[in-house]
Amino acid sequence: MANVSTAAVTPPVDGRWRSSLRVHTFSSGDSIWMEPERIWLVSRGVVLLNLLHPDGEEVVVGLATPGTAFGLPLTSLMAYQAKALSKTELMLFTLVEVESSPNLTQSLVRGLARRLRQAEGLLGITSHRRIEERLRHLLLLLKQEIGEPHPLGTRYRVRLTHQQLATAIGTSRVTMTRLLGKLRQERWLTYDRDRHIILTHAPGI
């Protein structure tokens, strides 16, 4: 899977839509509202997509990066939620606008294809029985999705909490903290001053 930049992107939108295009900015940690007939397209930043179970447990279903679309019309999940992981700019389109613009439709299809590959990657991670192996594969997947070059290796553009990582592979925060500590001792990863994960140039990276 190719690296996906979190820099701003401008999707190919017909000129007739540009004047009415609504851009919304969210800060890190902000919840993003959903509307039944509207689709969000990420222009800048990273959005965490998850599913909230009735018992309050969250399940990570993916990350939306620049050029990727998400929204209620694109999912069958009822308790679908989205949260900005960094300062994020999103563009909001109605279904009518999407259907009326071939260029925009093509852009959304490319983004959905990226989301599908990501979902397959997350599903493949669950096939590993050992939690540590799941974590290693998750970190490598995230390297492809939100990584950027760094003198020590590859740095994640956004800060991910131990709980978010634990939720993604079906384990506890305590176990995640222990495993991340182990990988750090092995020099498989480290952190920058803002606690962003850096995957080092250790064997297997």
CA–CA separation, 79 and 65 (whole Å): 21
| Greater pLDDT, 95 or 204 | 95
Domain spans of the chain, in order of start: 15-125, 131-200
What is the rounded CA–CA span in Å between residue 46 and residue 63? 7
On whether the 15-125 domain is CATH 2.60.120.10, my answer is: yes
Helix (H, G, I), strand (E, B) or coil at 173: helix
Domains 15-125 and 131-200 share a fold: no
Tell me which fold the domain 131-200 belongs to. Answer: Arc Repressor Mutant, subunit A (1.10.10)
Number of H helices, E strands in the chain: 6, 11
- Report which residue type is found at 125: I
- The Cα 153–Cα 107 span in angstroms is 31
Tens-place pLDDT, residues 69-113 = 999 998 887 778 999 999 999 999 998 988 888 888 888 888 889
Alpha-helical (H) ranges within the chain are 15-18, 95-100, 102-125, 131-146, 162-169, 173-185
Pairing relationship of beta strands 38-44 and 88-94 according to DSSP bridges: antiparallel
Q: How far apart are CA 49 and CA 14, in angstroms?
A: 28
Per residue in 40-60, pLDDT (tens digit) is 999 999 999 998 877 777 888
Tens digits of per-residue pLDDT, 184-203?
Answer: 999 999 999 999 999 997 55
Which of the four pLDDT bands, split at 50, 70 and 90, describes residue 20? very low
Residue 191 identity: Y
Alpha-carbon distance 63 to 85, whole Å? 9
